[in-house]
Amino acid sequence: MTETNLTVAVIDPSRARAAILEEGLRAAGVGRVVVLPDTADLTERVTALKPDVVVIHLESPSRDILEQMSGVSRQVERPVAMFVDRSDTTMMQAAVDAGISAYVVDGLRAERIKSILDIAILRFNAFARLQRELSEARGELADRKLIERAKGILMSLKGLSEDEAYKQLRRKAMNEKRKIADIARAIVTTADLLG
């Protein structure tokens, strides 16, 4: 796609996510990509920028500002409209699932906005996946730390070796059909309370 003459505005409460989309649109050849802050003066900023397309995350409270700038209101120089493709509900679902809505200036052809939406969907989904992996990794790290502490407590209280302490934790978890980290958390909490 070479859309060197297009200006796309990106509005997203998450700056990291906005940056990822900005980069994706640039890589696809969009001429001008501008990330706008999600602030009270958004109307003025959009009016000044005169974008062809505004991609805004569903989490942004500023969406209603764009709706006011649309054709249903008077006094708007270049009315924008939410992009709704009634012939393609799958696309609509995919966009909303990914957290995207797009507003286009009247007259922009559907195929041009669609390629921008495709990029936005891919980028936002990739971002969501990264976030999920990161939070899982954080969870695993936290679990490992808990298990280490619980092992330490068992070792000093019962005079066990590290290996024996771990085996006790694992056996307890298996008997109670719970995760080792849950057993470890119980031990650590109890030790905190009693210690």
Rounded Cα gap, residues 180 and 147, in angstroms: 7
Nearest Cα to 47, choosing from 20, 18, 19, 9? 9
CB of 11 to other proteins, least distance (A): 11
CB of 3 to other proteins, least distance (A): 25
Residue 96, number of CB atoms within 10 A of its CB: 12
Query: Is residue 82 involved in binding other proteins (CB under 8 A)?
Result: yes
Rounded Cα gap, residues 159 and 127, in angstroms: 47
Query: Is residue 43 involved in binding other proteins (CB under 8 A)?
Result: yes
Query: Is residue 89 involved in binding other proteins (CB under 8 A)?
Result: yes
Rounded Cα gap, residues 195 and 189, in angstroms: 10
Query: Is residue 41 involved in binding other proteins (CB under 8 A)?
Result: yes
| Of 7, 14, 70, 125, the one binding other proteins by CB under 8 A | 70
Question: Contacts with other proteins in 92-111 (CB under 8 A)?
Answer: 92-93, 96, 101
Torsion of CA 77, 53, 105, 50, to 10 degrees: 20
Query: Is residue 135 involved in binding other proteins (CB under 8 A)?
Result: no
| Of 4, 5, 48, 64, the one binding other proteins by CB under 8 A | 64
Residues 6+ away with beta carbon under 8 Å from 121: 94, 95, 98, 100
Would you tell me which residues interact with other proteins (CB under 8 A)?
39-41, 43-44, 58-68, 70, 72-75, 82, 84, 86, 89, 92-93, 96, 101
